[in-house]
Structure 1
Amino acid sequence: MIDYLGRFSERIAGRFSGRKFTPIACSACFSDEGLRLDAEKTGIDVPRPCPNCTKTGFKKLSRDALELLTHRFFVWGSLQKVLFGAAPLIQFNEHQATSIDVAPWLANDVKLLERLLGIGFFYYGPRLWMIGEVEPLKALQKKGKQQSIIERILAEYPARILKPNDQFYRIRVNPSVPDDPQQYDSPPPQFAGHGRLDSAGNPILYGSSDLEVCVHECRVTAEDDIYVASLIPSRELRLLDLSALLKEEDGTEFESLDMSIHMLFLAGKHSYKIARAIADAARNAGFDGLIYPSYFSLLRLGQMPFQTVYGISHRRIPALQDHEQAKAIPNLALFGRPVQNGTVQVTCIDKLILSAVRYQFHFGPTGA
């Protein structure tokens, strides 16, 4: 899969470094409303007529911007999620003629993109690792094979030290006594087993250094009274870091432990049983908790999941691994009741007021 998003981010910077901006279309060129709105967001103001439709007063798009728009609408916009992983249903390139079914309101736009970019659209047959055919991940779903993979996780993922000056946050919604530090410890027993990593008898204090992620993780509403506690460890805590990108040199995505954990934490509630087994094993191995990637990492950063170049995951390409690592916003999961036992201190409690909510979105084709 061609990474038009990555190519655009590098090449569009040219317009800010003295390179001449050459428009080839504008937002008014499009009939589909979603595509037109996305073009308006992507384009820039240029005070001259559009070279394609001759209209003035609309955002202009260069070839780079048009490639980005096309990728975002047709490829990202056709992304199909499965139990583990996801893959786009539509792709495009310069070598194939268009063979997809197109809605009548989109037909003229497809012809325009074919002409301006010299491309064709086709249904994409992804490599099967993209939809969960990853051997360690499949083994984690089988009771008889799960333990051996968990042992690999404990051995291959790095340990990190959370130091006494490493502050993080915990959100509480409608606490009974907002200024009581104990209200910001792990949930009481009657609420055990509702989170990704906790289970009955194994409570977990969830937190993050990213306050916006905390707010989103707690599914707050405008009617809630929201409070945020600032916390620091009282001593060094040893955590298993599952947010790390493993730089595996051997094998492919099909054998990748890194891809297995990446997919596990981007999956929904059906993955919780596996994640809890990993947490239990880490607790038994003497860790104080876990660092794990937030389920909302990509949404928080506005990134497309499971990006590839010709079917190879960006996580496997050395030049892109730092960028991929930065997509994982780390959450904390501390075992037991660390506030009660003094392992963690609450240094401050504030009321949090939602003053505005903004949505960023883009569009995709229907029927994909």
Structure 2
Amino acid sequence: MICSDCLINEGLKIEAERIGIRNNNQCTNCNSFSGKKLNKEIIQKIVDRFFRQGSIDNDYHLPIYQLSFVEYEEMIPFTEETRADLKLLKANSGINIAYHSPRLTDLGYTDISAEIEIIEHEAKEKLNVLIDRLFSKFKDKTLNTNTKLFRIRVNPNSPRTNAEFDTPPKEYIREGRLNNKETPIFYCSEDLNTCVHEVKSTVYDNLYLATFKTKQPLKILSLIDYNKELDLHEMENYISYISYLFRTDLDYNMCQKLAIRAKERGYDGIEYYSFFSKVIGDRKSNIALFGYPMKDGILSLKSVNRLRIEKIDYKLNFGPVQ
């Protein structure tokens, strides 16, 4: 049985110390008494966490490597220390590493994404037909009267001024995921923590939280509530295409076109998963309302509070250098 002290790579060593067995027995490999002991089951968990989970790509949220029982690791350009550790781990568990080959749908490629790519810059009417087909796969959501919504402003000029918490005036609008100057968007959420994550603030920023309530029912296109029963085959799994659009910063242009079409079809806004759902531990959503909901009398401002980040706690996952 090997131990955590046998490992060279610091990340692997820390992962091993987290879940290894604590005892005073001498390691039969490195003669250490203090290292956490690693049996076959624990080694497999360490390899999975470090090489598979630790290689998850930030854009697609897919692992680069997978566990294997076939000789593949010689093809992978690991660092010398990582390769030495993997050789030791493999010898004591039989587990190996190979490249992970994701399905095309995992990368956002579906029949509709291919069609959109072909005609995206052609006539608006053609694109709208495809967007309508995409929308038909998702369900509508109603925000009932008195639904509570949160919105955070970072370093506002005048937090006592209610207008500071409405959609910015057109001359101050910066292009975002769904908005541009022609399509102003009021970003908010039903979840407070999601708002904090989305504004990407630092501990030096002054945060102000505005709490709103809806003054009337609002019709929302929910891009998180998917009609799975409408799928005919894997390439019609349009949720993968939507997930691709909203989890990366690669295609704001297409997201903005979705927003324009949703507004044209009479929706008051769009619901979509927060990018930070992957680290929050639960699937949380953002809501994007069209126009100026405060000025237009759709929302009422109930209160404004200064918000201070008191504590941040990280759960870290080590992985190999790519």
Deviations 1:249-300, CA, capped at 9 Å, x for gaps? 4211x332111111111111x3111111111111111111111111222133
**Which of 305, 311, 318 lines up with 1:356 in the alignment?**
311
Relative to structure 2, which stretch is displaced further, 86-95 or 172-181? Answer: 86-95
Q: In structure 2, which of residues 59, 62, 80 is the aligned counterpart of residue 104 of structure 1?
A: 80
Distance apart, 1:200 and its partner CA: 1.8
* Residue in structure 2 matching 1:206, options 183, 187, 190: 187
> 1:353 deviation in Å?
1.1
Structure number with greater Rg is 2
DSSP-derived class of the 2:251 partner: helix
User: CA, structure 1 residues 217+109, in 2 after alignment: closer, same or farther (shift >3 Å)?
Assistant: same
For residues 193 and 284 of structure 1, the distance between their equivalents in structure 2, rounded to whole angstroms, comes to: 22
1:92-241 matches, within 5 Å, as 92-96=67-71, 98-99=73-74, 100-141=76-117, 142-143=119-120, 144=122, 146-241=127-222
| Whole-angstrom distance in 1 between the partners of 2:242 and 2:11 | 34
Specify whether residues 360 and 190 from structure 1 end up closer, same or farther in structure 2 by C-alpha distance, changes over 3 A only.
Answer: farther
Structure 2's unaligned 5+ residue stretches are: none
**C-alpha separation in 1, matches of 2:62 and 2:228:** 23
Distance 1:87 1:190, change over 3 A: same
Give the secondary structure class of the aligned counterpart of 1:105.
helix
CA distance in 2, matches of 1:56, 1:245: 54
Tell me which moved more, 107-116 or 342-351.
107-116
Residue in 1 that maps onto 2:233:
251
Are residues 1:91 and 2:86 paired? no
Partner of 2:292, secondary structure, is coil
2:278 to 268, 292, 298: 298
RMSD: 2.6
Residue type at the aligned position of 1:189: K
Equivalent residue, structure 2, for 1:276: 256
The one-letter code matched in structure 1 to 2:13 is R
Aligned to 1:117, the other structure's residue is in SS state coil
TM-score by length of 1: 0.76
Quote the sequence identity (%). 30
Aligned with 1:39 (options 7, 11, 16): 16
**Relative to structure 1, is the Cα distance of residues 175 and 93 closer, same or farther in structure 2, using a 3 angstrom cutoff?**
same
Q: How many angstroms does 1:130 deviate by? A: 3.4
Question: In 1, Cα distance between the equivalents of 2:152 and 2:192?
Answer: 8
Match 2:298 to one of 343, 364, 367: 343
CA contact (8 A) 2:109 2:241 kept: no
CA 1:134–1:60: 2 relative to 1, 3 Å: farther
**Alignment partners' CA distance in 2, 1:263 and 1:299:** 17
C-alpha displacement of 1:186: 1.0
Give the TM-score, by structure 2 length: 0.86
Q: Distance in 2 between matches of 1:91 and 1:238?
A: 42
How many residues are matched?
314
Shift in CA distance, 26/137, structure 1 to aligned 2, threshold 3 Å? farther
CA contact (8 A) 1:26 1:50 kept: no
